[in-house]
Amino acid sequence: SAVISQKPSRDICQRGTSLTIQCQVDSQVTMMFWYRQQPGQSLTLIATANQGSEATYESGFVIDKFPISRPNLTFSTLTVSNMSPEDSSIYLCSVDWAGPGHGTQYFGPGTRLTVL
């Protein structure tokens, strides 16, 4: 299985600021995904991050609010911009292990964000 790390593990931020979350994988993967989990809720996909192309965003999520970078096959960042208390969530990255179509996705430990 993949070993995935995220930084920071948690943060408390002020309204109007931005936070960049990093996701690092121990081996090269084709597809990386970013999810949001609001308090007490299930996970919702924000976007798919592919190396060499722009991220693909899900309905309700826009690049200006959640810019994503994918500079190589082991790393991605998600920025939460101009934060408000409604952005308080756990943000998780995942990877499609063993390549597209295999199916198994592994998740990082998550970043717990609190916006005051």
Partner 1 sequence: SQQGEEDPQALSIQEGENATMNCSYKTSINNLQWYRQNSGRGLVHLILIRSNEREKHSGRLRVTLDTSKKSSSLLITASRAADTASYFCATDGMDSSYKLIFGSGTRLLVRP
Binding site for partner 1 (CB under 8 A): 1, 31, 33, 37, 42-45, 48, 56, 58, 90, 92, 94, 96, 100-101, 103-110, 112
Task: Output Rg (C-alpha) for the chain, integer angstroms.
Answer: 13
Please, what is the minimum distance in Å from the beta carbon of residue 82 to partner 1?
Answer: 24
Peptide bond into 8 cis (omega under 30): yes
Q: Which is nearer to partner 1, 21 or 92 (CB)?
A: 92
Please, what is the minimum distance in Å from the beta carbon of residue 57 to partner 1?
Answer: 11
DSSP letter string over 36-67? Answer: EE-TT--EEEEEEEETTS--EEPTT--TTTS-
Q: Which is nearer to partner 1, 76 or 94 (CB)?
A: 94
